[in-house]
Structure 1
Amino acid sequence: MDRFMYLAMSGAKENLYAQAINNHNLANATTHGFRQSLADAYTAPITGPVYDSRDYVQVGNEAIDFSHGAMQSTGRDLDVAIQGEGFIAVQAPDGGEAYTRAGNLHVDAQGMLLTDRGLPVLGDGGPITVPPDESILIGTDGTITIRPEGSAPNALAAVNRIRLVNPDTATLERTEDGLIRAKDGQEVEADANVRVVTGMLETSNVNTVEALTRMIELSRTYETQIKMMETANNIEERHNRLLGIS
């Protein structure tokens, strides 16, 4: 009977994990450039002194769905979207390098080019700083061109270039801070073939209808597993009464 109980308990535990992943995806359904997570679980046999008698559910490494989101027109000069494959390199709060598809950028009071989350965008020589300007334009290759403050309309100057990378997605992972990084912790080299389009943003790749349906399915499965645990407990109590133990 313990096998019945613990198998149901194992399934319920990992079902809660799947619900947490699904809820996190739903919470980021409107986050630009977000890549949904996939719950990954597998069966693992439990070995015994005589023979294997149980297969429990175990959590695997969290997988990321790198399929593209839809393109959304904004008309804003500092909004950029990656065309095809690739990422924008940013500086994480711990000083490391991370990668994002969220191109809703802005320049703060100190002239730093930041993402919507406040992460510095990396260029050829580190975080990008933009001098005071009358206008700013980001080219398809990530080159940032400005018209310096107080200059003539045709006085344009290239100040830096956003570092665009295109690593193998199999080498990437999402860390505890929610940022996507290289698994080996190394910086990814810039890829001159990555292109961006200005005045556009990429939406999340979360399908809200599928996520809501998944939430209902997971909830019902969890309820079934809890009922199985209650059934196992009731059967055990009846056995104990029959044996005169209780």
Structure 2
Amino acid sequence: MQNTLLIGLSRQMTLERQMDVVANNVANVNTSGYKADRSLFAEYLNSGAHEDNFVSADRRLSFVQDRATFHDFSPGNTEQTKNPLDLAIDGAGFLAVQTPAGERYTRDGGLQINNQGQLVNASGYPVLGNSGPIVFQPTDHDISIAADGNVTVLEGTGRTGAVRGKLRLASFTDAQKLVKEGSNLYSAGDGIAAQPDTGSRVRQGFVEKSNVNSVTEMSRMIEITRTYTQISALLQQQSDLHKSAIEKLADVPA
């Protein structure tokens, strides 16, 4: 009876964590460039609760263990905006941005120009090129960003072209080690470093949407809620059975 309670509790703990992951995915269904998280579970075998110290193979219990979460880096749908500062990345690359905490990486290509003329992301952090932040002059217009990340403009009233930099796209040998830090940013985890990405291509005037499927995530949320409720009912039944057994044992004549 005690084993049933322990197994049910292990499952409820993993369901709670899974609900947190699904809820975060649902909250970012409209976040450009967002990559969904997935839960990873495993069977954990252990001896059951018993009075003696003897453990046999047929008495080992199967618990649920929350191993980890992993990133789903499958591409999201692209949407044309015709905004020259909107970018979508075809490939596994990331934009590099400079933050007060150091260099960070993002797939969110909704960019802007701040008061200092710097190309920045939605949070206001400078987007990095191969030679540092990309900076525009007050007279620049007709910004063009090529597929290889080359940023060119027309200067002043003339038709003279000028290069303002080249976007530094980064890739990682093991992207699963990237750590989400909020604001749609990733930091490089232990043991990995950003590498130049020459295979990805930039699409100007497009943004990559979140890869979260809202229907699928809502279905998962309903399934998790129902499973949690069913386990709660089972544990309540076991608790009532235990209580009833104790009450009947108390009525047995000495």
With structure 2 as the length reference, what TM-score do the two structures score? Answer: 0.87
For residue 180 of structure 1, what is the aligned residue in structure 2?
186
- Residue 156 of structure 1 aligns with which residue? 161
Q: Is the 8 A contact 1:77 1:198 kept in 2?
A: yes
> Would the alpha carbon gap of residues 77 and 176 (structure 1) be closer, same or farther in structure 2, given more than 3 Å must change?
closer
Partner of 1:120: 126
Is 2:54 aligned against 1:50?
Answer: yes
Which stretch of the first structure deviates more once superposed, 207-216 or 107-116?
107-116
Letter in 2 for 1:200: F
1:85 to partner: Cα distance: 2.8
* Structure 2, gaps ≥5 residues long: none
Aligned-pair distance for 1:185? 5.7
Instruction: Return 73-82 or 119-128, whichever deviates more.
Output: 119-128
Partner of 1:82: 89
Structure whose residues are more often strand by fraction: 2
Q: Distance in 2 between matches of 1:111 and 1:15?
A: 47
Superposed displacement of residue 108, structure 1:
0.7
Q: CA deviation at 1:182?
A: 2.9
Deviation at 1:186, TM superposition (A): 4.6
2:101 equivalent among 82, 94, 99: 94
TM-fit CA distance, 1:168: 3.2
> Could you tell me which amino acid in structure 1 is paired with residue 92 of structure 2?
E
Alpha-carbon distance in 2 for matches of 1:60, 1:26? 22
Contact 1:166 1:194 in 2 (8 A): no
- Asked if 1:35 is matched to 2:42, the reply is no
How many Å apart are 1:241 and its aligned residue? 1.0
Aligned-partner Cα distance in 2 for 1:15–1:93: 36
Match of 1:108 in 2: 114
Q: Tell me if 1:139 matches 2:143.
A: no
Q: Secondary structure at the match of 1:209?
A: helix
Q: Which residue of 2 aligns with 1:234?
A: 240
Corresponding position: 1:17 with 2:24: no
C-alpha offsets along residues 9-38 of structure 1, whole Å, 9 cap, x if unaligned? 111111011111111101101111111000
Quickly say closer, same or farther: Cα 1:119–1:214, change in 2 above 3 A: same
Percent of matched pairs sharing the same residue: 32
2:202 is aligned to 196
**AA at the equivalent of 2:5:** M
Equivalent position SS for 2:151: strand
Deviation at 1:176, TM superposition (A): 4.4
What is the CA deviation profile of residues 52-91 of structure 1, one whole-angstrom value per residue up to 9, with x for unaligned ones?
A: 6333222122111111111100000000111233221223
Structure 1: which amino acid aligns with 2:42?
Y
Conserved? CA contact 1:165–1:194, under 8 Å: no
Q: Is the 8 A contact 2:33 2:106 kept in 1?
A: yes
- For 1:171 and 1:39, the matched residues in 2 are separated by 13
Residue in structure 2 matched with residue 212 of structure 1 by the alignment: 218
Please tell me whether the aligned partners of residues 133 and 146 of structure 1 are also in contact (alpha carbons under 8 angstroms).
no
Pick from 61, 69, 74 the counterpart of residue 68 of structure 2. 61
Offset of residue 158 of structure 1: 0.7
Measured in 2, the distance between the counterparts of 1:190 and 1:122 equals 12
1:85·1:194 contact (CA, 8 Å) conserved in 2?
Answer: yes
Q: Deviations over 1:121-166 (max 9, x none)?
A: 1211333333323312211111111233xx2432221111111123
Q: Which residue identity does 2:114 align to in structure 1?
A: D
Q: Which among 73, 78, 86 is matched to residue 80 of structure 2?
A: 73
Give the aligned length.
243
Q: Pick closer, same or farther for the CA change 1:126–1:56 going to 2, 3 Å.
A: farther
Q: CA RMSD in A?
A: 2.2
